[in-house]
Amino acid sequence: MPRESYRGADQEPMLQVQIENRGTPMMIDTGATYTCVSPNYASHLPMSGKYAKTGNTQLIPMTAPVRLIADGKSATIPILVSDQTPINLLGRDALCKMGIQIQCSPDGVIIDKIGLQLPMINKQGTANVYWLGGIEVDVDKTVRRWGRFIQAQIPKAVRVKSEYHCTMQFDPNQDPVLDKLWAMEANGRKAPITSQIIIIGRQGAAMDVNDRDGSEFVNKWFNVSDSVPHITLLVNEGFTSKDLGPMMRRARRKRWERTDNPLIFHSTDKNVIKIITTTEMIGEPREVEVNVSQQAMLGEGIGVIGELREEMEKIIPSEVWSSQHDTDVGLVKSASPVYIKVKPDAKPPWKAQYHMKPEAEEGISATIEGLIRAGVLIEIQSCCNTPLLPVLKADGKKWRLVHDLRAVNDIVQDCPAEVPNPHTLLTNVPPDAKYFTVIDLCGAFFSVPLAEECRHLFAFRYRGKTLSYTRLPQGFSQSPHLFNQILKADLEELMLDGTLIQYVDDLL
């Protein structure tokens, strides 16, 4: 049996593969669903006009089926062409078709080029999605205009991991007839479309889509059950893009009430917001092959998370769920106000406010105003001051309120920090446990009252006012320990059939 051996774990397993009669060096990659080559090795290959979704926001062009040969073993499959791949990859699609065996030994990797007949791994659970794409620039203009308002309504919503698009059809069976019809009638065409409104609901935000300029493309091709043509902008926590279609369909039947802004309307049940804004686009028909496991990101698969959330919301009182996120706080009624002891002869903590960019100051305003409304922050007089340090979140849009309390932490008396070790805690999980539920307590520290005599220690200045906390602040070194002990005492008499593990504000 012919073999190639690669000594040592640091030597990459490479094969010389003929792709349409041209030699191509390729690295074997069992972690790659698709075989992929750089454009330098693909100039002679016929392109199909299709794309593949490979786990990030990029759509990668796909060739027509091409012939790959390695040591007499062959496969005819479409492959990807990407300028982002640093090396040509021989993926599972080709490895399984060609029957290539890979063995790992202490001496290195051994490749048998005549192997067993293995199933086609990559084709199990793939689907075709037909959509209108190429609309990023036009949609971005609208998002920049209304993005801040939309994020304020659904602050935990995120963009899906795909280009902005309007799905026409989702085909889990990869019907060859539909594939051929799309290739004949759609590929290479342009589809003028327009959006007149944005809808914001608890599932997320999306733009309603219609044909324009006499085009009938959307009217002819759209076929998604319990949905209407739309472009998903943001998907809220606990939902998938699949949930946006039904939301948009229901929105068309809503009754609307005016607001102070002539472009913004509320539904009469106050659950949905409508924004009047026009976006004209030229859609490019695209056929995208995706892995069904990616549908939670693309939004055309099974919305299990959303269904579970809806089911839990029916069972559990609505008061349990956080709705305002950063500023939605509860109150531990059993907890006495926490008194903070200061070291003898310690001076009142004072540190001037750092320079704060205007966008940072504005970015934390909603959080501060929400905490004032919740009674967590109050205006006081104090000889103390510690600075705020707003931090830009990973999405590059929202700001996190961070309070630099190191000056306070330096002057308080030490106390035993009885925060449990998470690794030790997990040993309490029974070995036969099958079902797990995780509860994250929102704004947990803010649910513990702070003694009035201590509030002056945590004062800060914001927009000309001196504010401080009525609850245990975040950033205070003793907050995790204090909250952990208070919640632990509250849970001691709780009787459950299963096992409850508490780590500060996380419950398993």
List the Cα angle 103/105/108 in 5-degree steps.
90
Query: Which one of 251, 281, 315 terminates a domain?
Result: 315
Q: How far is CA 105 from the centre of its chain?
A: 39
Q: For residues 493-503, give the mean pLDDT.
A: 76
The answer on pLDDT for 6 being more than 60 is: no
- Does 67 share its domain with 202? no
The answer on pLDDT for 387 being more than 70 is: yes
Inter-residue contact 427 to 420 (CB < 8 Å): no
Instruction: Give the separation between CA 50 and CA 369, rounded to whole angstroms.
Output: 49
The pLDDT, as a whole number, for residue 28 is 82
Phi, psi of 133 (to 5 degrees): -120, -160
Number of Cβ atoms within 10 Å of the Cβ of 444: 22
Q: Which amino acid is at 113?
A: K
Q: How far is CA 43 from the centre of its chain?
A: 36
Which CATH number goes with the domain that contains 101?
Answer: 2.40.70.10
Taking only the tens place, the pLDDT of each residue in 338-362 is: 898 999 988 999 999 888 888 989 9
Q: What is the DSSP string of 203-254?
A: TEEEEE-EE-TT--HHHHH---TT--SEEEEEE-TT--GGGHHHHHHHHTT-
- Does 353 share its domain with 486? yes
CB neighbour burial string for 489-508, b if at least 16 within 10 angstroms, e if fewer: eeeeeeeeeeeebbebbeeb
The answer on pLDDT for 417 being more than 70 is: no
- Does 268 share its domain with 376? no
Number of Cβ atoms within 10 Å of the Cβ of 387: 18
Per cent of the chain over pLDDT 70 is 82
Q: Which amino acid is at 418?
A: E
Instruction: Give the separation between CA 61 and CA 44, rounded to whole angstroms.
Output: 14
Q: Which amino acid is at 431?
A: P
Q: For residues 105-125, give the mean pLDDT.
A: 48
Which CATH number goes with the domain that contains 393?
Answer: 3.10.10.10
Confidence of residue 303 (pLDDT cuts 50, 70, 90): very low
The answer on pLDDT for 412 being more than 80 is: yes
Confidence of residue 114 (pLDDT cuts 50, 70, 90): very low
- Does 157 share its domain with 236? yes
Confidence of residue 131 (pLDDT cuts 50, 70, 90): confident
**Is residue 48 one of the residues assigned to a domain?**
yes
Q: For residues 321-336, give the mean pLDDT.
A: 74
The pLDDT, as a whole number, for residue 128 is 86
List the Cα angle 55/57/63 in 5-degree steps.
75
**Is residue 36 one of the residues assigned to a domain?**
yes
Instruction: Give the separation between CA 121 and CA 93, rounded to whole angstroms.
Output: 7
CA-wise closest residue to 283 among 206, 203, 369, 187: 187
Q: Residue 296 burial (CB < 10 Å; 0-12/13-18/19+)?
A: buried
Number of Cβ atoms within 10 Å of the Cβ of 263: 12
**Is residue 121 one of the residues assigned to a domain?**
no
List the Cα angle 446/447/452 in 5-degree steps.
75
- Does 64 share its domain with 142? no
The pLDDT, as a whole number, for residue 4 is 52
Bridging pattern class, strands 80-81 and 36-37: parallel
Instruction: Give the separation between CA 218 and CA 192, rounded to whole angstroms.
Output: 9
Confidence of residue 120 (pLDDT cuts 50, 70, 90): very low
**Is residue 60 one of the residues assigned to a domain?**
yes
The pLDDT, as a whole number, for residue 424 is 66
The answer on pLDDT for 58 being more than 70 is: no
The two most distant CA atoms of the chain are separated, in Å, by 85
What would the two tokens of residue 311 be? 């089911």
Instruction: Give the separation between CA 149 and CA 264, rounded to whole angstroms.
Output: 11
The answer on pLDDT for 8 being more than 60 is: no
Confidence of residue 418 (pLDDT cuts 50, 70, 90): low
The pLDDT, as a whole number, for residue 57 is 55
**Is residue 120 one of the residues assigned to a domain?**
no
Taking only the tens place, the pLDDT of each residue in 94-107 is: 888 887 777 665 55
Residue 239: left if φ>0, alpha if ψ -120 to 50, beta else—which one?
Answer: beta
Which CATH number goes with the domain that contains 294?
Answer: 3.90.1740.10
Q: Which amino acid is at 66?
A: V
The pLDDT, as a whole number, for residue 244 is 94
Range of the domain at 39: 3-112
**Is residue 119 one of the residues assigned to a domain?**
no
**Is residue 117 one of the residues assigned to a domain?**
no
Position with higher pLDDT, 393 vs 418: 393
What's the domain count of the chain? 3
Instruction: Give the separation between CA 80 and CA 60, rounded to whole angstroms.
Output: 6
What would the two tokens of residue 148 be? 């801040």
- Does 212 share its domain with 271? yes
- Does 406 share its domain with 336? yes
Taking only the tens place, the pLDDT of each residue in 263-284 is: 999 999 888 999 999 999 999 9
- Does 172 share its domain with 289? yes
From residue 174, how far is each of 9, 53, 76, 127 by CA, in Å?
39, 15, 18, 6
Q: How far is CA 439 from the centre of its chain?
A: 19
Instruction: Give the separation between CA 478 and CA 475, rounded to whole angstroms.
Output: 9
**Is residue 173 one of the residues assigned to a domain?**
yes
From residue 315, how far is each of 250, 309, 320, 324 by CA, in Å?
24, 10, 11, 21
- Does 275 share its domain with 350? no
Q: For residues 150-157, give the mean pLDDT.
A: 90
Query: Which one of 269, 291, 315 terminates a domain?
Result: 315
Bridging pattern class, strands 502-503 and 391-392: unpaired
What would the two tokens of residue 15 be? 């094969």
What would the two tokens of residue 394 be? 């990973």
The rounded mean pLDDT for the chain is 81
From residue 473, how far is each of 363, 399, 402 by CA, in Å?
20, 18, 10
- Does 132 share its domain with 246? yes
Q: Which amino acid is at 423?
A: H
Instruction: Give the separation between CA 343 and CA 346, rounded to whole angstroms.
Output: 6
- Does 296 share its domain with 435? no
Taking only the tens place, the pLDDT of each residue in 420-475 is: 666 566 777 777 777 777 777 777 888 889 999 999 999 999 999 999 999 999 88
Query: Which one of 83, 112, 141 terminates a domain?
Result: 112
- Does 36 share its domain with 57? yes
